[in-house]
Structure 1
Amino acid sequence: MPSSSRVAIIGAGNVGATAAYALMLRGLFAEIVIIDRDADRAAAEATDIADANAVARPARIWAGDYSDVKDADVLVLTAGAATHGDETRTSIAAKSAAIVRGCVQEAMGAGFDGVLVVSSNPVDAMVQVAQATSGLPPERVIGTGTLLDSNRFRKRVADQLSVAPGAVEALVLGEHGDSEVVAYSTVRIGGVALDAFLGEQAFNRLEIAHDVMRAGYTINHGKGYTSFGVASAIVRICEAIHRDERVVLPVATRLSGQFGIDDLYLSLPCLIGAAGVLRVLIPDLSADERAALLASADALRETLADLE
């Protein structure tokens, strides 16, 4: 594993550039390198972020090439096909897979040996493609998965209950997409289960779950892409790795028998540290949630089968 404080980002689009900017603001890495097939775009984004860095913690930020990934602790892959309008994430899987395979082959050929974080859509399928292409141990190839969805879930529950999002524990599991599982059985407010906290207060579970699942489409309709939310998820995972935090985050990891699911990347709560996923936790789900998680796995298998 490399010891340098460097993060490399492949993809200078809206997500990659926003992630690079957010990483600069967090001051996590001494070096941030942005790589893109559009060298002019990468150079422009790197220069813009470097200019902003004048009022932040010192860091070296530049547009590089694949030779720069060899010394990176963390490699973030955001490159892939983009969705438009009501186009689903899975509908672009074949295009994204070709891009992801090419990027990962280049990175491994350059000698990368750190932790790979994938956010390319559809992320669960793409992180599976990335791991298979890279040959890295599964624990060192992580998808952003449902971390963003879980953050959205916590925020909407908090808004309904008039509490701070930090007071809410809540998980979205399975696929980052239309089959995701909004797991109300995992909701806790200050350690108190949702039903006990609510008492007689009205609470529309179906509306919130639908809003969480459709949030990406809603944002896409309004501005043409999503960036800030997923970039924040990328930064949170990078921070957990870089600081060896051993924090639990719902991310996409390759399952090995959890809930009867094997050799498939889906999101469950994972213990994250410097070596990637240290342990996969098995939450106590309701029967309906377990069934929905298995259905989510089936949906992802269909996507992967189409790629093959």
Structure 2
Amino acid sequence: MSTAALGRVPFIPEAILRAHHVHEPADDRFRAAARTRQALLREAKGWPIGLWATDTDKARELGSFLAPEHGDANFITPEIAKLARREVAWREDDALIDTERLYRNMLSSMPACFNLIGPLALDPRLATAVLRRLAPDFVKKVNATLFEHSPARRHPAFTHDRTAFDTLFKVTTTAGEHGFVAVEVKYTESLNEPPARLRPRYDEVSQESDLFVDPNHPQLRTAPLQQLWRQHLLAYTMVKNGLYTTGRFMVIAPSLNRVAQEAIALYRTHLLPGGIIPFEAISYEQYIEAIRRSGAANIAALLHDRYLDFTAVDALITD
């Protein structure tokens, strides 16, 4: 039996989790397996374990947490580590970038975003090739790649808050239009984060956007859908305000993260067909395969090893 053959990660015995300093009772099935995978990678590479603490707990060793001096190890290449440092230094005003998550938390979607998207930001030709594979009816050329991007945080003409996209690709579309692909990256996250404070502006945009079957539905305003709803609204306002002619909103999440995939499937049920901002859901497997088929087999292999290869975890169970 293996994760690759069965299409699901194993339940890991508590004794194994404790042995690798990754016993976290709040973890769901996928998060526990992914945390173990990252701990095993850290151990295999000889990277020192980091100390993790909450507001209520004292610092303790956590197998999926890196020591401060090894933060660059959270990225699959030195070039991506350098890119991350540059983006942190020149981030947009009021951008939410948690440097501890970025450099030390091996489970966070923040370093995952740089690992997945960074190679495209560093190579515009690769970016165009990959986006053409993911959205062949929409993307002709990628012109720029932005991280933790919002057109105008807290501006009343948009969503009047700090909502942003993990990445935004500025593109020329197949129809020759000035467009974008806005991307949200998830890794082990369940989309059950605490919801943002509801604002009157959300209701206004939701009702006028013609994106939703019922723009006032309570499910859109609570976890696990509220973040996707707010980001979709932001994407709509970018077209409404004339920044772009057209756009798409895309979520990238592992297929094995079933909690996230169920949330994405639920979100789809709230969408009207033919909306002005189409919604796309891409798995890590699809995304990494698009990178491989675009000629960056080495990058694809590094990403597969980091995020999709559970062989070492399977071995803990079978051995």
Question: Is TM more than 0.5 here?
Answer: no
TM-score, normalisation: structure 2: 0.29
The structure carrying a bigger strand percent of its residues is 1
What's the TM-score once normalised by structure 1's chain length?
0.30
